[in-house]
Structure 1
Amino acid sequence: MAQLDTLDVVVLATLLFGTVAYLTKGTYWGVTKDPYATSYANTNGNKQAKTRNIVEKMDESNKNCVVFYGSQTGTAEDYASRLAKEGKSRFGLETMVADLEDYDFDNLGSLGEDRVAIFVLATYGEGEPTDNAVDFYEFITADEPAFSDPADPPLQSLKFVAFGLGNNTYEHYNSMVRNVSKALEKFGAQRIGMAGEGDDGAGTMEEDFLAWKEPMWKALAEKMGLEEREAVYEPVFGIVDRENLTKDSPEVYLGEPNKMHLEGTAKGPFNAHNPYIAPISESRELFTVKDRNCLHMEIDISGSNLNYTTGDHIAVWPTNSGIEVDRFLDITGLLEKRDSVISLKALEPTAKVPFPTPTTYDAIVRYHMEICAPVSRQFIATIAPFAPTEEAKAEMTKLGNDKDYFHEKITNRYFNIAQALAHVGGLEKWTAVPFSAFVEGLNKVQPRYYSISSSSLVQKKKIAITAVVESLQIPGQVEPLKGVTTNYLFSLMKKQHGDPSPDPLSYNITGPRNKYDGIHVPVHVRNSNFKLPSDPSKPIIMVGPGTGVAPFRAFVQERAAQAKAGENVGRTLLFFGCRKKAEDFLYSSEWKEYEKDMGGKFSLITAFSREGSKKVYVQHRLKEHAKEVNELLQQKAYFYVCGDAANMAREVNSTLARILSEQRDIPESKAEEVVKSMRAANQYQEDVWS
């Protein structure tokens, strides 16, 4: 699949570049002798806390509230930061934010009666913990975790609050927060308030969070005897002007993720904290219509230590477009200061600066700040006091407090932060908003993940991407909504093909200090559980309309190579759908070659939704082939779905249950149980997005 950008329906947020310097008691490690530089300098990944003992850490920093996060895309980390700020500003809590992988949890029971732990936990994939929460999850859900506290039960003095981030299109919706809450309570911990559950599948994550936290704060205040006070913005980071430096100074970061990239000595391991600047060996257009584009790109990883297996994802590290960077800098009054050098200084010892400094305003906005994301209602309320006029202040306050009004004026128009400020303030510049508020309140740019559309067996050192260029015309809006990453890739493709037309979005595709020149893109690889059966003789059934066909191109490519090598390859069915055969039939010429290579073992069943009087989708074709589908499943065929979760994947799931009910003459409720058991046995796999 081509998982979509922030602007492309999914609100995915926060870049996991790797956390920065551990800051404590005025001592900093960093670039040369710069007192405010971060420890991106010498590390490829997260720098762990000095101690892994959370009680010791809270004691030394005088904290009484810790907000742990388990985050895959950064949204949970963002919510954790927001809760920590709000707890301090509204209730006087001494809060800290903590990455779950930075601490051990055997001493959770020793946190103390006068402290509280908040867990913000995202569920990844089919009910799995996020990468940074794996060790914690395995510990807390064990039958007999090795707690250091001899109390019985061991967590009887622990008070905790929990919020989960999930997607109802998956079978194990919000299983992380549910399972962790259950485990904590099993060992005697006292949950305060309801465990909240946000639903990305329904597109209500932000409002679910806002609706949950108000009664939670009330319950927490009652439990801990807290008194609410008027919330006043208190910066977590100080902005330090570095007048002795210019953007050309060698120690100034202009978008480089760490010191190795800054100095031109980047080496592996390349991962979620340290991207590989990979050459794009080739690219081509897959659609044949002028108003829509779909890219096929081949990313060369031969110069890295990166490896992938068929079914994995590639992460692309995007940059914001020049037009959006300029829009943001203009509305905030920073356009003339774009190249001024600044450092960020943590104003309290447990805070972590989110990107390497010293740097420039331009570099922060272009490479580190999610300026194109949908606007948070809570953030609008936070910056309302800094509005340029009383009228704008009143409007911002109303937007922040009235959910329906906010959706009418902001959400339904898909405004990003700069557009929202321009809409409210007119020609006025928002110069009074502290820049630290933007750093703290806007998500960090994160990598975007795409299902790899090539087989590692066939091309071990080249990774293929298949992605539709996102451009959505919103009714009533002059400007179309542009996907950040796919349009960045589109600009790269046009440059590779020598397109002389100017880029209307003005992407800086050559990267910081022109280090990406020659058509390069920063990437890393993420492993996936979406895999072919280890035995190639097993039959498989694949359903992938549109760019959901991406991993299935890889699957079929691999099986064709195995068949050519003389291996026994099982029956391979692919259900593919698109609008029109002549316009967006992806890889149409390749499928015939695969059929030939596999000697009749492979069949492609197509559904062209806009070619007849009645729309035909993949689920309709699936029903038409009900007999063979059932027979293959009785032979333990693996069933795969890739694409849109909210509509297509649900329809396919329901259609499969009806097929089994009719073909096996069993009640549909029983057939639904069969499908569930297939999921549990990994016989039914999904790679979907909402």
Structure 2
Amino acid sequence: MAQLDTLDLIVLAILLAGTVAYFTKGTYWGIPKDPYADSYSSANGAKAGKTRNILEKMDESEKNCVVFYGSQTGTAEDYASRLSKEGSQRFGLKTMVADLEDYDYENLDTFPEDKLAIFVLATYGEGEPTDNAVDFYEFVTGQDVSFSKGGAADEKPLEKLKFVAFGLGNNTYEHYNSMVRRVNDALVKLGASRIGKAGEGDDGAGTMEEDFLAWKEPMWAELSEKLGLEEREAVYEPVFSIIEREDLDADADEVYLGEQNKHHLEGAQSGPFNSHNPYIAPIVESREIFAVKDRNCLHMEIDIKGSNLTYTTGDHIAVWPTNAGKEVDRFINILGLAEKRHKVINVKGLDPPAKVPFPTPTTYDAAIRYHMEICGAVSRQFVSSLAPFAPSENSKAEMTKLGNDKDYFSDKVSSQYLNIAQVLERVDYSQWTNIPFSILIEGIHKIQPRYYSISSSSLVQKHKISITAVVEEIRIPGSDNIVKGVTTNYLLALKQKQHGDPDPDPHGLTYSITGPRNKYDGFHVPVHVRHSNFKLPSDPSKPIIMVGPGSGVAPFRGFIQERAALAQAGENVGQTILFYGCRRASEDYLYREEWEHYKQILGDKFALITAFSRDGPKKVYVQQRLQENAAFVNQLLEKEKGNFYVCGDAANMARAVNDVLGKIISEHRGVSPEKGEEIVKAMRSSNQYQEDVWS
């Protein structure tokens, strides 16, 4: 028995050691934890084992300034990184960047007077916080905010907090920059002191970058005065170290070749699938739905069966794109990386809070192809930062001029829609081998998923998601430059490959269709679902009026598909009115046959009112058709309490529709134009008027 007891103790000891090793993920044994191993679990907070106390984190890393960001597309995160770096290099602040979803905020009332918080906050959709800022926003704007010391809001619990704020918005939306405005008001109400003006960038006017640059200089001046900071000459200090691995080949099992996390690397798909962890979904159908050769619109069916992904009608699907091979080659060649494009590299943050934007070890090619937004818009500040690494004095002078002269930069770069590699080529076609790869990682956004309105009904096809996407292409007047949309052209390439087209793209765009290590073979695409507030009324008998020209009709295909299914199931379905517009009935009339099918099912309950802008002697648009049917529209909204929906271009169509509806209400209800506008605003507030628009 004594021997058995000893054996039992040994077994228990081994089990205990194994349990400790499992739950500490190897940290007690000196094995570094793969930061991307559990990236899917970070959707609702910081990764396991990391503190959610921001002050504790700042003390650990000896920081006196934290730059928080609320970002949906990566721009706010980029601005936060730039402010952090500038604060460190120009003013000697000890800065860190922080994702708002990684921390809790009950202890902001203990924020020390000698530390500074900067908030860079994008507004998403109709005045909503970005996905990663929801918890923070709800906390600071809540009615009963509860801090660690238990102080009430009227006791000014944040009186020691000094902060700076910049917002990213779009003036085509009603709630322009509401996120930064509301957070600013909430923080001030709680006793915090803002330093400098709260900046606001306007994507709708196309001035976001210049708004940011114009705001930050006076902000730094006021901050320096208030905090006694002294400006010094900024010298580039890398945030990341790049170590080329001689001991690893690119085909080694542990090298990431574009995989998003450890599970993808190991060939396993583990949910939950979200903005940190895409599902590699099969494309079960793809087809062209334009009847014209020089433009494309894709219809795709994405299979989500077995993924536990769910959607409801009106939601969005996110597609994770891959950069075009032509642009990857351009970028690699101008930087002199061609000979070592498949060299394995380790990227590591030189400062503990620095977050490497992709998993490593990886290769130059994989990082550029799958993770860096190399085709994105270029900022003056980034161009200026590359000037010291120019291959000649002439090119250095040109880069400096581009960085300093707003009008010159607009003429040479912005108006031409050049990406960073194209800028470098035009300044000096010789190779820019002096540019550190670290500054490129810091200055180029992480490539972001693109969101598309789902064009199917979850009631009708629970396990298949439909996408309707016009393939983007911009031809620059007076230039041979053609700008191709990153994601829609990737989807086009997938569709063409699926149909066996030999050499589909005249501009030589090629894509790694089969993905890293052929893991997308058989026509797969990485996706996740984002839930939306753009919804049908819960009562199907309520009338709905939908305005959706072009691909803006996408969610309404799902709405009508659902209403037809409900009608077939015996439900009482209300009036279903669609205002649809396109260029020509013979070219880009989307889902023409389907509308006829739904008309047969819904009968008099369905009306399709079309506007073809180039078929007649005069251009006709959906807002004109809306005005022509003013009495009917007003009756459905006023008497029958119908819902009004708009999807499509925010800057022109959606704003015009909003204005026309205000006039219709004014004229048909006998009220002033100002009162008509107020009624439309009230409709928005009550969700009787809903928009799913983009700029």
Give distance in 2, aligned partners of 1:221 and 1:29. Answer: 44
Residues 604-643 of structure 1: per-residue CA shift (max 9 Å, x gap): 0000000111100000000000010000001111000000
The match for 1:326 among 295, 320, 329 is 329
Deviation at 1:109, TM superposition (A): 2.5
Look up the match of 2:202.
199
CA contact (8 A) 2:460 2:562 kept: yes
CA contact (8 A) 1:69 1:80 kept: yes
Distance change (3 Å), C-alpha of 1:473 and 1:43: closer
What is the 5 A alignment of 1:121-520?
Answer: 121-149=121-149, 152-425=155-428, 427-501=429-503, 503=505, 504-520=508-524
Give distance in 1, aligned partners of 2:622 and 2:538. Answer: 26
Give distance in 2, aligned partners of 1:676 and 1:652. Answer: 13
Deviation at 1:274, TM superposition (A): 0.8
Give distance in 1, aligned partners of 2:337 and 2:102. Answer: 36
CA contact (8 A) 1:30 1:38 kept: no
Deviation at 1:502, TM superposition (A): 5.4
Deviation at 1:436, TM superposition (A): 0.3
Residues 4-51 of structure 1: per-residue CA shift (max 9 Å, x gap): xxxxxxxxxxxxxxxxxxxxxxxx9799x9978741024424343722
Q: Counterpart amino acid of 1:321?
A: A
Q: Counterpart amino acid of 2:436?
A: P
Look up the match of 1:640.
645
Q: Does 1:57 align with 2:60?
A: no
Distance change (3 Å), C-alpha of 1:115 and 1:439: same
Give distance in 2, aligned partners of 1:610 and 1:93. Answer: 58
Give distance in 2, aligned partners of 1:496 and 1:442. Answer: 32
Look up the match of 1:685.
690
Deviation at 1:296, TM superposition (A): 0.3
CA contact (8 A) 2:171 2:203 kept: yes
Report the 3-state secondary structure (helix = DSSP H, G, I; strand = E; otherwise coil) of the residue aligned with 1:123: strand
Deviation at 1:214, TM superposition (A): 0.7
Report the 3-state secondary structure (helix = DSSP H, G, I; strand = E; otherwise coil) of the residue aligned with 1:582: coil
Distance change (3 Å), C-alpha of 1:257 and 1:527: same
What is the 5 A alignment of 1:556-575?
Answer: 556-575=560-579
Give distance in 2, aligned partners of 1:354 and 1:328. Answer: 18
CA contact (8 A) 1:36 1:357 kept: no
Residues 452-511 of structure 1: per-residue CA shift (max 9 Å, x gap): 000001111110000111122111222311011011000100111111225520111110
Deviation at 1:61, TM superposition (A): 1.0
Deviation at 1:597, TM superposition (A): 0.4
Q: For structure 1, which segment, 492-501 or 602-611, has the greater mean C-alpha deviation from structure 2 after superposition?
A: 492-501
Q: Does 1:618 align with 2:614?
A: no
Q: Does 1:41 align with 2:45?
A: no
TM-score by length of 2: 0.93
Q: Which runs of 5+ in 2 are unaligned?
A: 1-23
Give distance in 2, aligned partners of 1:402 and 1:478. Answer: 24
Give distance in 2, aligned partners of 1:659 and 1:587. Answer: 29
Q: Counterpart amino acid of 2:348?
A: K
Q: For structure 1, which segment, 170-179 or 151-160, has the greater mean C-alpha deviation from structure 2 after superposition?
A: 151-160
Give distance in 2, aligned partners of 1:62 and 1:559. Answer: 59
Distance change (3 Å), C-alpha of 1:317 and 1:666: same
CA contact (8 A) 1:30 1:39 kept: no
Deviation at 1:369, TM superposition (A): 0.3
Q: Does 1:83 align with 2:83?
A: yes
Q: Counterpart amino acid of 1:446?
A: Q
Give distance in 2, aligned partners of 1:522 and 1:529. Answer: 23
Q: Does 1:553 align with 2:557?
A: yes
Q: Counterpart amino acid of 2:673?
A: E
Look up the match of 1:576.
580
Give distance in 1, aligned partners of 2:421 and 2:33. Answer: 28
What is the 5 A alignment of 1:96-107?
Answer: 96-107=96-107
Larger Rg: 2
CA contact (8 A) 1:37 1:343 kept: no
Look up the match of 2:607.
603
Q: Which runs of 5+ in 1 are unaligned?
A: 1-27
CA contact (8 A) 2:496 2:504 kept: no
Give distance in 2, aligned partners of 1:519 and 1:526. Answer: 22
Structure 1 consecutive aligned stretches of length 4 or more whose deviation exceeds 6 Å:
28-31, 33-37
CA contact (8 A) 1:36 1:345 kept: no
Q: Relative contact order: is structure 1 or structure 2 higher (C-alpha 8 Å, sep ≥ 6)?
A: 1
CA contact (8 A) 1:109 1:149 kept: yes
Deviation at 1:144, TM superposition (A): 3.4
Give distance in 2, aligned partners of 1:60 and 1:238. Answer: 21
Distance change (3 Å), C-alpha of 1:37 and 1:382: farther
Give distance in 1, aligned partners of 2:355 and 2:123. Answer: 24
Deviation at 1:188, TM superposition (A): 1.1
Report the 3-state secondary structure (helix = DSSP H, G, I; strand = E; otherwise coil) of the residue aligned with 2:587: helix
Deviation at 1:267, TM superposition (A): 1.6
Q: Counterpart amino acid of 1:458?
A: V
TM-score by length of 1: 0.94
CA contact (8 A) 2:167 2:177 kept: yes
CA contact (8 A) 1:288 1:584 kept: yes
Residues 541-600 of structure 1: per-residue CA shift (max 9 Å, x gap): 000000000000110110011111110000010000000000000000110110110121
Give distance in 2, aligned partners of 1:34 and 1:59. Answer: 23
Residues 197-229 of structure 1: per-residue CA shift (max 9 Å, x gap): 111111111111111111111111111000000
Q: Counterpart amino acid of 2:454?
A: I
Give distance in 2, aligned partners of 1:388 and 1:479. Answer: 24
Report the 3-state secondary structure (helix = DSSP H, G, I; strand = E; otherwise coil) of the residue aligned with 2:275: coil
Give distance in 2, aligned partners of 1:665 and 1:528. Answer: 35
Give distance in 2, aligned partners of 1:409 and 1:35. Answer: 50
Q: Counterpart amino acid of 1:111?
A: F
Deviation at 1:377, TM superposition (A): 0.8
Deviation at 1:323, TM superposition (A): 0.2
The match for 1:668 among 655, 667, 673 is 673
CA contact (8 A) 1:30 1:41 kept: no
CA contact (8 A) 2:416 2:481 kept: no
Distance change (3 Å), C-alpha of 1:502 and 1:646: closer
Q: Counterpart amino acid of 1:330?
A: N
Q: For structure 1, which segment, 197-206 or 459-468, has the greater mean C-alpha deviation from structure 2 after superposition?
A: 197-206
Give distance in 2, aligned partners of 1:470 and 1:189. Answer: 45
CA contact (8 A) 2:195 2:219 kept: yes
Give distance in 2, aligned partners of 1:598 and 1:430. Answer: 63
Q: Counterpart amino acid of 1:236?
A: V
Distance change (3 Å), C-alpha of 1:34 and 1:523: farther
Q: How much identity, in percent, do the aligned residues show?
A: 71
Deviation at 1:172, TM superposition (A): 1.2
Report the 3-state secondary structure (helix = DSSP H, G, I; strand = E; otherwise coil) of the residue aligned with 2:40: coil
Report the 3-state secondary structure (helix = DSSP H, G, I; strand = E; otherwise coil) of the residue aligned with 2:401: helix
Give distance in 1, aligned partners of 2:82 and 2:371. Answer: 18
CA contact (8 A) 1:254 1:513 kept: yes
Look up the match of 1:22.
none
Give distance in 1, aligned partners of 2:182 and 2:678. Answer: 22
Give distance in 2, aligned partners of 1:356 and 1:686. Answer: 37
CA contact (8 A) 2:648 2:692 kept: yes
